[in-house]
Amino acid sequence: MSPVIGLVNYGKAGNVFNVKKALEFLGAKVKIVEKCGDFDGTDKIVLPGVGSFNDAMAEIEADGIKESLVEQAGKKHILGICLGMQILTKAGFEFGEAKGLGIVDGEARKINVGYKIPHMGWSYVEIVKENPIFKGVDEKDSFYFFHSLEIIKTDQILGFSKYNDYRFVSAIQAEEKGLFGVQFHPEKSRKSGLKVLKNFIDL
């Protein structure tokens, strides 16, 4: 039986097309989640990465799914992609401060090292802790990044990547909650990214 992935749709740009396409390509069933009852019948949850921190959190609150999302953590595996990972932390500082879901430690801050922002392009992931979602991924696998914020103040780190010479957290895990976050876009990262999504589907 292929698992049903609940794909949370938030943000005005609202484009979940590419994540849905990749998950389906890998054999998963996808259910779009837009209100709290929609979590019923899903086996795992993916938070995609589009829009801004503030908009995404506002949308999640407006749709009334904030509490049920927090409730799902620990019961179902969750994968946060890019912004979808950032909103799992306690707070984001994109346009002023906005509260995050607070499911994992840390906060999301603008990358501020003098390089062009957003960081857009391909980088490797230096995996610092053995874990199931990077199974089969090695140092030659590159991933597509597209972000202005980075995660800081967390020790739940799975991997680091580099933007030119600047090293930042690019993957996190809250092991006891079965939760993962990746800063890159696995749905846009060729076979390297598909490996990560497949590992998540197979958890």
Partner 1 sequence: MKHVRIIARLDVKPPYVVKPIHFEGLRKKGAPEEMAAEYYEQGADEICYIDIVASLYRREFLYQHVEKTANSIFVPLCAGGGIKTVDDFSKLFHHGADKGVINTFALQEDVEIIDKAAKIFGSQAIVVHIEAKKRDGWWECFSDCGRVRSEKDAVKWAQEVERRGAGEILVSSLDTDGTEKGFDIDLIGQIVSKTNIPVVAASGAGKLEDIRDVIVQADPDAVAVGTMLHYQITSIDKIKRYLKDNGVEVAI
Round to whole Å and give the CA distance between 133 and 25: 18
- Does 170 sit near partner 1 (CB under 8 A)? no
77 noted as active-site residue: no
Count the site residues for partner 1 by CB under 8 A.
32
163 phi, psi to nearest 5 deg: -105, 110
Residue from 75, 129, 153, 190 in contact with partner 1 (CB under 8 A) = 190
Q: Is 187 a catalytic residue?
A: yes
- Tell me the closest approach of the beta carbon of residue 164 to partner 1, in angstroms: 5
CB of 74 to partner 1, least distance (A): 30
**Binding region for partner 1 (CB under 8 A) out of 12-20, 56-64, 68-76, 174-182:** 12-20
The secondary structure element, H or E, covering residue 123 is strand 119-124
Task: Tell me which residues in 63-102 interact with partner 1 (CB under 8 A).
Answer: none
Size of the chain, expressed as the number of residues it contains:
203
Residues 6+ apart with CB under 8 A from 106: 89, 90, 151, 152, 153, 154, 156, 169, 172
Position 120 contacts partner 1 (CB under 8 A): yes
Site for partner 1 in 128-157 (CB under 8 A): 140, 142, 144, 146, 148
Asked about 82 being catalytic, the answer comes back as yes
Q: Which of 131, 119, 127, 35 is nearest to 79 (CA)?
A: 131
73: DSSP letter: B
Among 37-45, 98-106, 115-123, 171-179, the segment contacting partner 1 (CB under 8 A):
115-123
* Residue 17 binding partner 1, by CB under 8 A: yes
Q: Check residue 123 for interaction with partner 1 (CB under 8 A).
A: yes
48 — phi, psi (to 5°)? Answer: -80, 175
For residues 173, 177, 9 and 3, what is the CA-based torsion angle, rounded to 10 degrees?
A: 100
Q: Which of 82, 94, 147, 150 is catalytic?
A: 82
Angle value at C-alpha 69, between 12 and 92, nearest 5 degrees: 60
Is 116 an interacting residue with respect to partner 1 (CB under 8 A)?
A: yes
Instruction: Classify 84 as helix, strand or coil.
Output: helix
Indicate which residues carry an active-site annotation: 82, 185, 187
Q: Using CB under 8 A as the criterion, which residues of the chain lie in contact with partner 1 when the complex forms?
A: 12-15, 17-18, 21-22, 25, 51-52, 116, 118, 120-123, 140, 142, 144, 146, 148, 164-165, 185, 187-191, 193-194
